[in-house]
Amino acid sequence: MTLTSNAGPALNPAQQEAVDHTEGPLLVLAGAGSGKTRVLTARIARLVQEGHARPAEILAVTFTNKAAGEMRERITRFLGEEPSGMWIGTFHAIGARLLRAHAELVGRTSSFTIYDEDDTLAVVKRLMERHRLSPKLYTPRAIGAAISDARNALVPPAEFTSLALTPMAKAVAPLYAEWDEAFRSANAVSFDDLLWLPVQLLQQHEAVREKWSRRFRHVLVDEYQDTNHAQYELIRLIAAGHGNVAVVGDDDQAIYGWRGADVRNILEFERDWPQAHVVRLEDNYRSSPSILALANVVIAENTERRGKTLRATRPDGGPVTLLGALDDRDEADAIVDDILTRRNRGDAALGDVAILYRTNAQSRPFEEALRRRVVPYRLVGAVRFYDRREVRDLIAWLRLVANPADEEAFRRAIGVPRRGIGDTTVELIAATAREHGISLLAAARREDLLAGARASTREALATFAELVDRFREIAEDASVDHLLGRIVDLTGYGEALRAEGPEGLDRLDNVAEMIRSAAETVIDDGGEVGLRPLDHFLQRATLVAGLDQFGPDADAVTMMTLHTAKGLEFPVVFIAGLEQGLFPLSRSLDDPESLEEERRLFYVGITRAERSLHLSWARSRRRNGELMPSVLSSFVTPAAEKLVVHSATVRLRATGRVIGMRPVREPTAWDETGPRTWRANPAREKPVEIEDMSQDMPAFVKGERVRHKTFGSGTIADVSGNGRDLKVTVDFDDEEVGRKRLVAAFASFERGVD
Task: Give the residue numbers marked as catalytic.
Answer: 36-37, 222-223, 253, 608
Q: What CA–CA distances, in Å, run from 430 to 65, 409, 419, 450, 611?
A: 46, 13, 18, 11, 59
Check: CB of residue 110 under 8 Å from CB of residue 118: no
CA dist 612 and 607 (Å) reads 11
Contacts of 733 by beta carbon, 8 Å cutoff, 6+ apart: 712, 713, 714
Q: What whole-number distance in Å separates Cα of residue 251 and Cα of residue 245?
A: 18
Secondary structure E strands in 328-393: 353-357, 377-379
124 in Cβ contact with 144 (< 8 Å): yes
3-state secondary structure string, 655-710?
CCCCCCCCCCEEEEEEECCEEEEEEECCCCCCCCCCCCHHHHCCCCCCCCEEEECC
**Cα distances (Å, whole numbers) of residue 625 to 66, 517, 520, 622:** 41, 9, 9, 6
Question: Residue type for 552, please?
Answer: P
d(CA 338, CA 370): 12
* Helix 36-49 with 13-20: angle, nearest 10 deg: 40
> Residue 111: how many CA atoms within 13 Å on its side-chain side?
0
Give the Cα separation of 336 and 375 in Å (integer).
9
Instruction: Give the count of alpha carbons within 13 A of 388, CB side only.
Output: 24
Q: Are 460 and 426 in contact (CB under 8 A)?
A: no
Asked if 128 and 171 count as a contact pair (C-beta separation under 8 A), the reply is no
In this structure, what are the phi and psi dihedrals at residue 117, rounded to the nearest 5 degrees? -60, -40
Closest CA to 432 of 447, 419, 421, 422: 447
- Count Cα atoms within 13 angstroms, Cβ side, for 19: 26
Q: Are the CB atoms for 702 and 716 separated by under 8 Å?
A: yes
Amino acid at 529: V
**Contact of 304 with 277, CB cutoff 8 Å:** no
Strand partners, 615: 322, 575
Residue ranges in 385-501 assigned as alpha helix (H):
389-402, 407-413, 423-436, 440-445, 455-477, 480-490, 493-498
